[in-house]
């Protein structure tokens, strides 16, 4: 059977692994890039010739001339954020109007979703998850409760008006009773979103049909994940997770492509590990090394600006991630951030309640009880920034990468040695595999 001409790019950790750059680098070979989960809480930063592009909901593929971008049905769309982002890209000379498509089945984020999330996250006595308070979680809640508004409904003025009136009646009452929140005006909301709907209308189509036709016609498709595997609603560190399927399986349900149409899975991992927001983090560093990594790696959220928590590479977590995703290839980013270290601790196993544990416990208590078991690897104490060839990397850096490869069970295909799209090492075996999948 011929290998499907598609690939999923997924975060292997807690997000912020540098997927934006990698999708941008690979999109040169693909005809379509489709985003399949999350909302405008997932910032992807791409640097091209020193110019920074921060994308929140729009797939990175639009930065490549001739590449189409698709926002799939698994994404939740804030119309105002979408229009703001497309306007910003137009101002930068990016053609979004003829190359960007939004699923008619994607669900819509409305102001009452933000109101509910912000009030709930700030309420006394509530467990704080560390959300961005942009309404993503409550929009997915309405979707699963079969009470959401889809893009196709947004384009129907009569249906939109009725939905907003009914939803505001319910959400205003709930928010006031639980949190003392002031009510939203449904008439003003309808006027604003009816106008926004007409600006969005030209982008809307049946994207499942578009993607399946593209594959049928021999075009190559890349599926772009948001957040990371450990934030997946089913497989992550619940409840400190996102509200969607951030792992590779979400590419199928979030776009309408059958699982047998996915050719390979590419997991993106940092050479160390970070996490934003609340939740367990077994290998988190609490001393000056964390500050040093944060400074060298510019570890601040692309969307929120929040400082990221930093830790040493967690190989049991990476093995778990590769298992969940069926990862074939690994992309290692920010190798250059480790350039100055004499020795580099790497977590190679866990101890929980005095017992050796080879995988991540399902419950939060178990994860919080983990005592990481470290192996120290020799640092290379020389610059890798901007290196373009694997052979040119310092010997100790190559040994670090090969150790990651052996211990994680996936092959390293790309090493990122800096933020710019050209600061990338691509290994020959991966290059050949991409030629077979994408034809380029």
Q: How many helices (H) and strands (E) does the chain have?
A: 14, 19
Question: How do 355-357 and 44-48 pair as beta strands?
Answer: unpaired
Q: Which of 16, 232, 314, 420 is catalytic?
A: 16
Q: At what angle do helices 395-408 and 315-325 cross, to 10 degrees?
A: 50
Q: Are 262 and 324 in contact (CB under 8 A)?
A: no
Cross-strand bridge partners of residue 221? 6, 32
d(CA 352, CA 367): 8
d(CA 323, CA 360): 12
Q: At 130, which helix (H) or strand (E)?
A: none
Residue 45 class from Cβ within 10 Å (0-12 exposed, 13-18 middle, 19+ buried)?
buried
d(CA 69, CA 427): 27
The three-state secondary structure class of 312 is: coil
- Catalytic-residue membership of 16: yes
Distance of CA 321 to the CA centre of its chain: 14
Distance of CA 360 to the CA centre of its chain: 21
Q: Are 76 and 41 in contact (CB under 8 A)?
A: no
d(CA 301, CA 260): 34
For tokens 């205003």, name the residue. 172
Q: Which of 40, 44, 163, 235 is catalytic?
A: 44
For residue 146, the tally of other CB atoms under 10 A from its CB is 6
d(CA 3, CA 110): 41
CA dihedral 124, 130, 136, 138 (to 10 degrees): -30
- Half-sphere exposure of 157 toward its Cβ, with a 13 Å CA cutoff? 7
Q: Are 264 and 328 in contact (CB under 8 A)?
A: yes
Task: Kindly state the tokens that stand for 135.
Answer: 């309404």
Task: Kindly state the tokens that stand for 74.
Answer: 């698994």
Dihedrals phi, psi of 222, to nearest 5 degrees: -110, 135
Catalytic residues: 16, 44
């Amino acid at each position: 059977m011929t290998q499907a001409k598609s690939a999923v790019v997924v975060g292997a950790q807690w997000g912020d692994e540098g997927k934006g750059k990698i999708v941008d680098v690979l999109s040169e070979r693909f005809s379509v890039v489709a985003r399949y989960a999350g909302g405008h809480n997932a910032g992807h930063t791409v640097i091209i010739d020193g110019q920074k592009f921060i994308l929140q909901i729009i797939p990175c593929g639009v930065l490549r001339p001739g590449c189409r971008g698709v926002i799939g049905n698994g994404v939740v769309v804030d119309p105002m954020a979408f229009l703001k982002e497309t306007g910003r890209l137009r101002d930068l000379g990016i053609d979004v109007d003829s190359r960007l498509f939004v699923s008619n089945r994607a669900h819509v984020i409305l102001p009452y979703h933000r109101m509910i999330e912000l009030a709930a996250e700030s309420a006394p006595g509530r467990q704080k998850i560390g959300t961005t308070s942009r309404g993503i979680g409550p929009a997915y809640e309405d979707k699963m409760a079969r009470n959401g508004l889809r893009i196709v409904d947004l384009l129907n003025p009569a249906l939109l008006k009725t939905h907003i009136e009914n939803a505001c009646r319910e959400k205003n009452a709930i928010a006031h009773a639980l949190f003392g929140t002031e009510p939203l005006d449904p008439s003003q909301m309808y006027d604003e979103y009816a106008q926004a709907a007409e600006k969005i209308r030209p982008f809307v189509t049946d994207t499942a049909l578009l993607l399946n036709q593209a594959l049928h016609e021999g075009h190559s498709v890349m599926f772009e994940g948001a957040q990371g595997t450990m934030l997946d609603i089913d497989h992550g560190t619940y409840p400190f997770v996102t509200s969607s399927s951030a792992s590779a399986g979400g590419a199928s349900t979030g776009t309408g492509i059958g699982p047998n149409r996915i050719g390979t899975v590419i997991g993106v991992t940092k050479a160390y590990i970070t996490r934003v927001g609340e939740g367990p983090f077994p290998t988190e560093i609490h001393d000056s090394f964390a500050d040093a990594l944060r400074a060298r790696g510019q570890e601040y959220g692309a969307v929120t600006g929040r400082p990221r928590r930093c830790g040493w590479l967690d190989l049991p977590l990476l093995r778990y991630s590769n298992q969940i995703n069926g990862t074939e290839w690994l992309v290692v980013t920010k190798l250059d951030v480790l350039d100055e270290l004499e020795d580099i601790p790497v977590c190679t196993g866990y101890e929980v309640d005095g017992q050796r544990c080879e995988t991540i416990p399902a419950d939060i208590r178990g994860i919080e009880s983990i005592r990481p078991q470290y192996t120290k690897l020799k640092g290379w104490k020389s610059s890798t920034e901007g290196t373009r060839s694997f052979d040119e990397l310092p010997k100790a850096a190559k040994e670090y990468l090969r150790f990651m490869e052996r211990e994680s069970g996936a092959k390293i295909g790309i090493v990122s040695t800096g933020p710019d799209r050209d600061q990338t090492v691509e290994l020959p075996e991966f290059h050949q595999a991409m030629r077979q999948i994408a034809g380029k």
